[in-house]
Amino acid sequence: TEEPLKKKFLLKISSGNYTEFEPERMRFHKQDFSLEILNTSRDDRRLYEYSVSKGPEEEVWQIQLEVFEPVANPSIRILRQESSNGSCSLVLRCSSERGDEVSYSWDSWDNSTGGICSGSGSVLNLSYSLRSAAFGCVCTARNPVSSRDVAFHSSQCSSEQ
């Protein structure tokens, strides 16, 4: 025979009274009928169900909770560098040590580069004249719960590196 399906209750409300089954992990807010999960962890990522019984009928809502670790401060690494004839060509990589579902984008920090810093993804190919005015590119690492920036300055392209 098959095992029966089991549900774990976090909160039950009956006749205006409520019982919290995990008060150390959950907090019920009577004002707006919300349930707060304390010290959220990845283990809390699951399907939750909210049901209301009215006589012979029951209304059921299902809510999929997603839990994301915030993005850590990103860093930029020079993967390849070439300087010749007064120009600089670089391949930059932006990465964050922590965070779930991280995406990366690149932009100018002051909109003066004419799109040279624009890009999506963790890698940016950059080519510019060393005689041009100094500029900076900013990498943004983001996910659904956080966003962090790090800058790269054009003066970092030199023959000594």
How far is it, in rounded angstroms, from Cα 134 to Cα 65?
A: 45
pLDDT score for 139 = 96
Burial degree of 146 (CB within 10 A; 0-12, 13-18, 19+): middle
pLDDT score for 160 = 41
Domain ranges of the chain: 11-65, 74-156
- Candidates 137, 146, 60; CA nearest to 103 is 146
pLDDT score for 159 = 45
pTM for the full model?
0.72
Checking phi first, is residue 86 left (phi over 0); if not, alpha (psi -120 to 50) or beta? left
Q: Where are the beta strands (DSSP E) in the chain?
A: 11-14, 17-20, 26-29, 34-37, 47-54, 57-64, 75-84, 87-95, 103-108, 119-120, 123-129, 136-143, 146-153
Q: Topology of 74-156 in CATH?
A: Immunoglobulin-like (2.60.40)
The per-residue pLDDT string of the chain (161 residues; one tens digit each, 9 = 90 and over) reads 788 888 888 888 877 778 888 888 888 888 888 888 898 888 889 888 888 887 888 888 898 999 999 999 999 999 999 888 888 899 999 999 999 999 999 998 776 666 788 999 999 999 888 777 778 899 999 999 999 999 998 877 764 43
pLDDT score for 161 = 38
